[in-house]
Amino acid sequence: MMRKKRILWICNHVTLMDAEVPLLLELGFEVYVPKKFPKGSEFVSCVSKDIYDPSLTIPPEDLALLNTVDFYEDHFSDEVIDAINRNFDIAFCTFYEKPLKMLVRHFPGQIFIRAFGLAGKASYWNVAREDWGLHFLDQMQSIRDRLFFAMSYRNMLKVEKNLFRENAVFLPLGLPETFAQRLKDGYTGTRRQILFVCPKICAVEYYYNAYKKFKRNFWGFPYVIAGNPFGKIADRHLLGYLPRAEFDRVFCESRVMYYHSVEPRHLHYHPLEAIYANQPLIFMSQGMLGQLTPKVKYPGAADSILEAKIKVGRVLMNDRRFIRDIQESQRELLQFFTPEYVKSFWLKNFMPLIEDGAKDPANAPVTLNLPVKNEAEKQEKTAEKPAPSPIVAEKKEHVGLILPIGYRGGTLHAFLQIAKMLKACGYRVTIGLPEDYLDRDGIYYFPTIMDDVLRILDKDSDIPIRFYEWRKMSPEENSTIRELSRLPEIRDQSLANAIMDDHVNCFCECDRWLFVSDRFFSGIPIPLRPYSVVVYDFLQRYMPFQLLPPKFENLYTHSTRQAESLFVTNPETANDMIVYNGVQSRKIFLLPFEFTADEMEKYTALNRVPFKCKRPYIVWACNRGWHKNHVRVLHALIRYYSEFCGQLEVYITGVETSDLDYKKKNKRDRDEEKEKSSALSSLFGEKKKEKPKPFLPQHIIEFRELFRKNKEILKKNVHIKGEMDRYSYFDLLSGAEFLLLSSLSDNGAFGAVEAAWLGTPCASSDYPHMRYMAKHYGITPLWYKGEKIDSITDTLNMMPRCSEEYRKMLPSRESLEAQSYEHHQQSIQKTLREAWT
């Protein structure tokens, strides 16, 4: 015997659950209802019940796993997704972003979106488009044969569009058997007052407005307002939160209920409760209750506020006959909610959809009453029964991997490693590089970039590469492009937006973008495709002065907040991002460090001779950035040589470290000299195009000054090597006593790992990011306090003594190799599956 079909029913609303789940059980399904849901005003009428679990035949371990999941807010881990896919055939889901995106992307069975109507003319389709992104709509389109819009009210079709209109199924809402039983005919009407039920006044704008409007309209009438307002509001008519029994008493005692809603597509439960209680109900004709029977106007219906007031007044004046009319007539409205009525629609509309095998053609038109275009053609199609569309997540997407700024060194390396990894994971990749590299006047000018890129990409050099430039959008252009691509309008006009102009298609042939680094100087990328960002560090946060004007900071922040998901390689950076940018932690995913043992292995295979020096020496690897703490380290070195007669020599190396040399002339000075010499010629020539002049930051000037003052001591001991090629650097490093890392804060320095490979211990300033990295690779650096010059001097003093000891503690090459980026493919694939919904 075939097993019963199983339904995953993601909706915890108590009344709905009590009505619909028993119905589904009766129709012959097994139903699973989530057990956990978040706290908050949205979930106030939700409960978790496990009374339906005994009917389930899924393995207990899967059940236990699913019971721990919050389907509304949690991440769906791989295991949970697999458990869902393994055990369920059909999914019902309320219109909530997280679970719905998961289902659409990963679930292979039929998906029913349970919708209960929105206010006014708002439609679910529009909400999905504006808030959840166009990409998601595309995903829904791709599984259109098994995605259904299960609307509760027929007139929702009037506003729904596209897929939601075509695949709409009318599944009316039922009321549970126990509904309003306590109130049944309990109406006494002893108090001369209107009952107006309006919850969540302080939490939801809609109810607040309804409350205000009611107060304005019924000024002078005796009334009470029931419902938990979720806050303090000074109004003696408000009953606030009442216990159930008390509420029922007020309910029955009030003479009349007024139901304000003019929403044709949404209905609350409390007017139905009033009908059950036999309480006269005055409602608006424009609302759902008035629209149920378009041809009849009930005595309780009012076309306008004035009419409502008159009718309410009549009831309050105890017009017996009128009250009886209302009571008798309104009972007819309940026919639309009886179990028989509801069940008939479920049988007619729902069952044929999920039954496999041959269909009875008579029952075929299940969707709606729209004219069917070609009956015969449709029947043919159903007879063929094509295989259901594949799972969205299994389709490997096309990722546009984009570098926002012309980085070199570590970030470029990491960027290309990510490209290789994405390709290995089965994604189609297109690389986007900024035109900064080719801009002759810019600070990122690097004409041989392509050679470097291709060399690192190695066997993956077939990945297409395009250059692009950031194009800033004017506010008008911005709103035009958003209008054309149907993106939601931006509210804050002060934030610049930009697109990547690659002279082809702005990378729009990709399904999604992945930016490596969050430095969007030119503006927030317009989310024509969903994008993610790999964020490396928050250096600007740890500096005592402003690195960037707040305008740029806001650009970075908003581009990360707008991103679909964010990746970090260090959990400490994730913490920075949560606190500094205020993003939600559930958007952030951890990827492994992009360290590759490849290069090191090649170097080792060459068996090169280490650098030789008469005296023992250390290598200070740094760059030009402030966070490298140059001035303090130099102070420490001066003290080390002058007070302690230190014997260690120091070699400074790294990108742009040649700027630290005081003898080297500033490029600007040189330019000025040149200009002076050519001033005469330029008098007659045409005006020169002004070039942006690279200037030295203050801390470098300070460093140079200090160096020059103490050059007698330092000249012999400190050597500035500037930028070296990799292998010479490794030669230098492998002969050194120690590697000195001087960052005060960053994402962690790979230099430590390379040094460990070459058998050189390192000394590092103590900060959480580096702590994590060292622990990750099993390295024990010689820690010091980078903020204190004394601490650095002490460390320098300690180095010759403890060099051997620290050398012994270094991890083996095998263990480092095991941490190499290539070995993490499995975990990366898993992370991407979770992150990219």
Partner 1 sequence: MSHIGVFTAYQPHVILGQEGIGRLLVFIMKGMLNNGHEVTILTPSWHRREVKKLLKEHSLEKRIKIKTVRKHPPVMIMIYDMMLWWRIRKAEGNDTEIEKDEDEDPKEKLTLLGILRKSTFACLSTYSILMFLLYAVFIIAVYLILLPFLLIIAPFWLLKKWYSYEYDPDSGRGKAKRYIKEKINTYLSFVPRNLRSDAIALGIMNSARSYEITKMVKYVNKGDIDYWYVPSVFWKEALKIRKKRVIVVPDLVYAEFPQCYYSESVVPMNAKNIEYFLKKKPPVICYSNHVKERHLVQLRDISPKRITVIPHGVVDLSEHLKMGLPPKEIIEVYLRRKGRGNVPNFSFVRNYNFAEGRYIIYSSQYRFHKNIIGLLHVLEILLRREHININLVLTCSNYNELMPELEKMNLTREVIFMPHVPENVLAALNALALLHVNPTLFEGGFPFTFDEAYSVGTPSVMSDIPVTREYVDDELAKRMLFDPYDYEDFAAKVKWALEHREELLEMQKPLFEKFAQRSWDTVADEYYKAMRCSFRRKLPKRKRKPWKRSKRS
- CA-nearest of 827, 743, 326 to 567 is 827
Cβ contacts of 584 within 8 Å, gap of 6 or more: 578
Contact 596, 410 (CB under 8 A): no
Q: In whole angstroms, how close is the CB of 702 to partner 1 at the nearest point?
A: 18
Which lies closer to partner 1 via its Cβ, residue 477 or residue 599? 477
Rounded to an integer, what distance in angstroms lies between the CA atom of residue 245 and that of residue 242? 8
Fill in the per-residue mask, 210 to 249: x = in contact with partner 1 (CB under 8 A), - = not in contact.
------------------xxxxx-x-x----x--------
Q: Which of 25, 41, 656, 829 binds partner 1 (CB under 8 A)?
A: 41
Q: Does 580 bind partner 1 (CB under 8 A)?
A: yes
Q: In whole angstroms, how close is the CB of 766 to partner 1 at the nearest point?
A: 8
Rounded to an integer, what distance in angstroms lies between the CA atom of residue 746 and that of residue 586? 23
Rounded to an integer, what distance in angstroms lies between the CA atom of residue 218 and that of residue 213? 8
Q: Does 784 bind partner 1 (CB under 8 A)?
A: no
Alpha helices in 202-243 (DSSP H): 205-217
Rounded to an integer, what distance in angstroms lies between the CA atom of residue 472 and that of residue 468? 13
Q: In whole angstroms, how close is the CB of 119 to partner 1 at the nearest point?
A: 9
The two tokens of residue 631 are 């001035």
Interacting stretch for partner 1, rule CB under 8 A, among 529-537, 547-555, 613-621, 639-647? 547-555
Which lies closer to partner 1 via its Cβ, residue 538 or residue 821? 538
Fill in the per-residue mask, 255 to 294: x = in contact with partner 1 (CB under 8 A), - = not in contact.
----------------------------------------
Q: How many CA atoms lie within 13 A of 14 on its CB side?
A: 10
Q: Could you say which DSSP state residue 11 is in? A: -
Q: Does 492 bind partner 1 (CB under 8 A)?
A: yes
Residue-by-residue DSSP string for 425-450: TT-EEEEEEEGGGG-TTSTT--TTHH
Q: In whole angstroms, how close is the CB of 166 to partner 1 at the nearest point?
A: 19
Q: How many CA atoms lie within 13 A of 222 on its CB side?
A: 9
Which lies closer to partner 1 via its Cβ, residue 144 or residue 472? 472
Q: Does 607 bind partner 1 (CB under 8 A)?
A: no
Q: In whole angstroms, how close is the CB of 540 to partner 1 at the nearest point?
A: 8
Rounded to an integer, what distance in angstroms lies between the CA atom of residue 514 and that of residue 1? 49
Which lies closer to partner 1 via its Cβ, residue 203 or residue 508? 203
Q: In whole angstroms, how close is the CB of 626 to partner 1 at the nearest point?
A: 11
Q: Which of 216, 440, 491, 688 binds partner 1 (CB under 8 A)?
A: 491
Which lies closer to partner 1 via its Cβ, residue 698 or residue 812? 698
Q: Does 572 bind partner 1 (CB under 8 A)?
A: yes
Fill in the per-residue mask, 189 to 208: x = in contact with partner 1 (CB under 8 A), - = not in contact.
-------------xx-x---
Number of residues that bind partner 1 (CB under 8 A): 58
Q: In whole angstroms, how close is the CB of 235 to partner 1 at the nearest point?
A: 8
Q: In whole angstroms, how close is the CB of 63 to partner 1 at the nearest point?
A: 28
Q: How many CA atoms lie within 13 A of 395 on its CB side?
A: 16
Alpha helices in 107-147 (DSSP H): 124-132, 134-142
Contact 19, 176 (CB under 8 A): yes
Q: Which of residues 128-167 bind partner 1 (CB under 8 A)?
A: 130, 159
Q: Does 557 bind partner 1 (CB under 8 A)?
A: yes
Cβ contacts of 832 within 8 Å, gap of 6 or more: 425
CA 22, 23, 26: angle at the middle one, nearest 5?
85
The two tokens of residue 664 are 């080297």
What are phi and psi for residue 51, nearest 5 degrees?
-75, -15
Q: In whole angstroms, how close is the CB of 126 to partner 1 at the nearest point?
A: 6
Q: In whole angstroms, how close is the CB of 575 to partner 1 at the nearest point?
A: 5
Q: Does 122 bind partner 1 (CB under 8 A)?
A: yes
Q: In whole angstroms, how close is the CB of 154 to partner 1 at the nearest point?
A: 19
Cβ contacts of 808 within 8 Å, gap of 6 or more: none
Rounded to an integer, what distance in angstroms lies between the CA atom of residue 104 and that of residue 76? 13
Q: Which of 172, 339, 768, 778 binds partner 1 (CB under 8 A)?
A: 768
Contact 257, 197 (CB under 8 A): yes
User: Could you tell me the end-to-end alpha-carbon distance of the chain, in angstroms, rounded to an integer?
Assistant: 36
Interacting stretch for partner 1, rule CB under 8 A, among 21-29, 373-381, 492-500, 679-687? 492-500
Which lies closer to partner 1 via its Cβ, residue 357 or residue 544? 544
Q: In whole angstroms, how close is the CB of 428 to partner 1 at the nearest point?
A: 33
Rounded to an integer, what distance in angstroms lies between the CA atom of residue 271 and that of residue 267? 8
Question: Which run of H or E residues covers position 377?
Answer: helix 375-384
Q: By the criterion CB under 8 A, which residues form the site for partner 1?
A: 39-41, 44, 120-123, 126, 130, 159, 202-203, 205, 228-232, 234, 236, 241, 472, 474, 491-492, 494-495, 540-547, 550, 553-554, 557-558, 561, 572, 575-576, 578-580, 582-585, 744-745, 766-768, 787
